[in-house]
Amino acid sequence: MRLRTGTTLAGGLALAAIFMTGCAPGSSRVFQGYIEGEYVYVASPLGGALTNLAVARGEQVKTGQLLFELERGSEAAALQQAEKNLVQAQSQLDDLNKGKRPTEIASLEAQVERARADLKLAAVEFERREKLGGEDVVSREELDQARAQRDADQAQVDQLTADLETARLGGREDVVHAAEATVQSQQAALDKARWSFDQKQQFAPTNAFVQDTLYRSGEWVAAGNPVVELLPPANIKVRFFVPETALARIHASQAVSVTFDGGRRAYSATINYISKQNEFTPPVLYNRENRAKLVYMIEGKFSAADAADLRPGQPVDVELK
């Protein structure tokens, strides 16, 4: 969305009138001015064909109301792909954190139990042969073979126990971290795809009057080109100019009364801006006579209800309260 100030011919004529007529006759508290509007130009950062223009010129729109929609088939496909990629990455991470499957764990547990049983048997056999060896019943070679079998069975138990613990742990820490990074990357890609998809629809940022629509359905809209021109009531203001001699009597938050030809009543506005720089100054020295030609721009804002009756470019009379 872009914000621009609407400058009209009527406003320029009002400025010129200041130098010809000065203040309104018979009053040093009435000044000439005009209504100014700051338009909001709503655009999409992405280009595409205009498939749905949901508003028309002259309508009133509410905050969040759909203004227009561009073709977004490619963005929808990219969003769907990003969602599936994230599901796949998350599944891989979950698989690493779970370790092996329950049936694989059960198989390793059974192998550990069998190895422990073999170890127990080998230990008993070694103990028996060790006693008989002291009585010279078995040879030393048989005793060494029993000891070796017991040690081998012990190593088998240790190996299978370690394998079981590893299977329960899941993936290695660095592999898990890599999988987590992949999930984060896919989440960022999904966020970007969703943003692109959402940008093909634009909604009213505030309550506003539809000043104009700049494209018709079916036309191609380049990225960043405005499609709808809005005028929110808060962006309607009165602009008037006062001579240097009257500037001291004006201050911010001061109330003014605004009237115009054919108006049903006087409209109240509040001064919110006083220019620090004079305008339309003749290129001469600031002597006492020329100081009377200096003017300063003043701006005031209306309530939302009063702004609805006003149109940019209207010449008005502004009276200080």
- Expressed as residue numbers, the domain containing 128 is 81-192
287 CB contacts (<8 Å, ≥6 apart)? Answer: none
- Residue from 37, 52, 34, 53 nearest 208 by CA: 37
- Residue from 254, 270, 274 nearest 306 by CA: 270
pLDDT digits over 209-266, tens only? 999 999 999 999 999 999 999 999 999 999 998 888 888 889 999 999 999 888 889 9
Note whether 224 and 244 are same-domain residues: yes
DSSP state of 24: P
Whether 203 is in a domain gets the answer: no
- The CATH number given to whatever domain includes residue 232 is 2.40.30.170
Whether 108 is in a domain gets the answer: yes
CA–CA gap between residue 150 and residue 154 (Å, rounded): 6
At 13 the pLDDT is: 43
What is this structure's pTM? Answer: 0.66
Note whether 178 and 230 are same-domain residues: no
Note whether 13 and 51 are same-domain residues: yes
Note whether 160 and 225 are same-domain residues: no
Note whether 163 and 220 are same-domain residues: no
At 135 the pLDDT is: 55
Of the residues 129, 160, 192, the one at which a domain ends? 192
- The residue ranking higher by pLDDT, 114 or 287, is 114
Average pLDDT over residues 279-304: 66
Alpha-carbon distances, residue 108 vs 122, 163, 255, 265, 300 (angstroms): 21, 8, 87, 92, 82
At 143 the pLDDT is: 77
- The residue ranking higher by pLDDT, 160 or 183, is 183
At 83 the pLDDT is: 96
Note whether 176 and 221 are same-domain residues: no
Note whether 240 and 159 are same-domain residues: no
Whether 272 is in a domain gets the answer: yes
**How many domains does one find in the chain?**
2
CA–CA gap between residue 218 and residue 140 (Å, rounded): 99
Whether 228 is in a domain gets the answer: yes
Whether 197 is in a domain gets the answer: no
Whether 201 is in a domain gets the answer: no
83 CB contacts (<8 Å, ≥6 apart)? Answer: 190
pLDDT > 80? residue 302: yes
pLDDT band, very low/low/confident/very high, at 4 (cuts 50, 70, 90)? low
Tell me, what amino acid is at 150?
R
At 19 the pLDDT is: 41
Note whether 185 and 102 are same-domain residues: yes
CA–CA gap between residue 298 and residue 250 (Å, rounded): 9
pLDDT digits over 58-117, tens only? 999 999 999 999 999 999 999 999 999 999 999 988 887 776 667 877 888 888 888 888
Note whether 224 and 298 are same-domain residues: yes
Q: Tokens 């006003």 map to which residue?
A: 310
